[in-house]
Structure formats: structure tokens, C-alpha cells
Amino acid sequence: MATMAKQRLMSELKGLEKEKWVRVELKGDALFKWSLGLMIINPDSAWNGAYFKCEMTFSENYPFSPPTFKFLQPIYHPNIYSDGKVCISILHAPGEDEQSGESANERWSSIQSVESILRSILLLLDDPEISSPANVDAGILYRDNREEYNRKAAETVQASKKDIPDGFVMPTTLVEAPPAKMTEDDDFWNESGDEDDFGASDSSGDDLDMDEEDGEEQEESEEDKDEDEEL
């Protein structure tokens, strides 16, 4: 079972290394305990610019059992406990839970992954569930005084920046760089308007209309000829 968990985690780790919004560090060969930097890169978010240090721990039964997740710094949020743990369905054990009212498809399953957990947490940060909050005061403030709530979030963002590793440059956008400018040759073909990528004429639509008109005139001419013959 441990071998399966290791293979799965190595595969997921390689996938996350391509992402700009998360940074994963392993201490030695401790594959079952990840240190993460979760970055909020969204100008519409109250948490934009934050660098949140987090920790995930996996069991040898992964992915059949969910990992644990916690923030390593205080975050004033309706669904985050004072110890940094997040109250979110995706991290709850598989199966139905009548007491909580959570269905099986809301809770953990082996098709979930580290990335799906992190993306769910990012969504929860901006869209908290305040009907059953882990932090009641934060839930009330979010509901009744959004301006003050956002001010507290901004303070947390500023405090989080001290955890940015030395030499690491925070990304400011998730959008890839635009393609290189066209060369003079590219401009020539685009400005000429005579040929497209396949060498077809730009006036092909006009030629088609003319062909249709010629066909209609030919049909009318043949009909007139038939009428003359009948007479």
C-alpha cells in the first residue's frame, strides 16, 4: 500500500511543480509530509498577494484516505480554525455522513488529488461557507461588515509576505506571456490580404456569390428555352 501511495504522490508532485500558484518543499525523503507555499494571485480577491505557508500530511493509505491540511499562520476566516486547520468537506473521510448532511460526492474520494484540495481551498477563501463556520466571529463579520473583514484580510496578506523565501519572486499573474511580435514577412502577408494561411483568396466569398448568381441565371435561361419549345 505504501508503494502505491509513494507512486501517486511522486506523480502529483511533478504535476504541481509546473504550477505558478503553489510551491512545494520536501524535507529530505519525507514524501508523506509536504511544506507548501500557497499563493493568491487574483486581483479580485481580498487575499490577493498573499503567500500562505501550509502543511500537508499523507498516510500510507493515500489516496484512499484524505491527507490533513493546515495553514501555519493565523488567518481570520469563517472556515479556518484557530490552529490553522480548514473546515472543508473534501478533506472529510469518504462516504455519506447523515449527521453533517454531507453527501459522498462532497467528501473525499480516491479520484481527488492534492491539486483539487488546494483549488477547493482557494475557492473557499473567497467564498466562505458561513452557515456552519469554524470561526463564528469571522462568519458574522463577513456577513455584516465586509469592509472591516477585507481590512483584516489585507493585514493578513501583508503579514504573510515575511514568509516569502529569500530570492523567490512572487508571480503577479497566471497569464502566460503574449506571443512574440510578427516579423516584417508576417506583416507583408497579413497586409496584402491576397492570401490566407492556405493560399486561398480573401475574395473567395465574393467568388462564391458570383458563381451562385451565374447558376441561377443559367437555370432561368434553360426554363425559358423549354417554354419556347412547348409553344
87 catalytic per annotation: yes
Q: Catalytic pick from 39, 87, 153, 157?
A: 87
Q: Are 62 and 108 in contact (CB under 8 A)?
A: no
User: Does a cis peptide bond (omega within 30 degrees of 0) precede residue 67?
Assistant: no
Kindly list the catalytic residues: 87
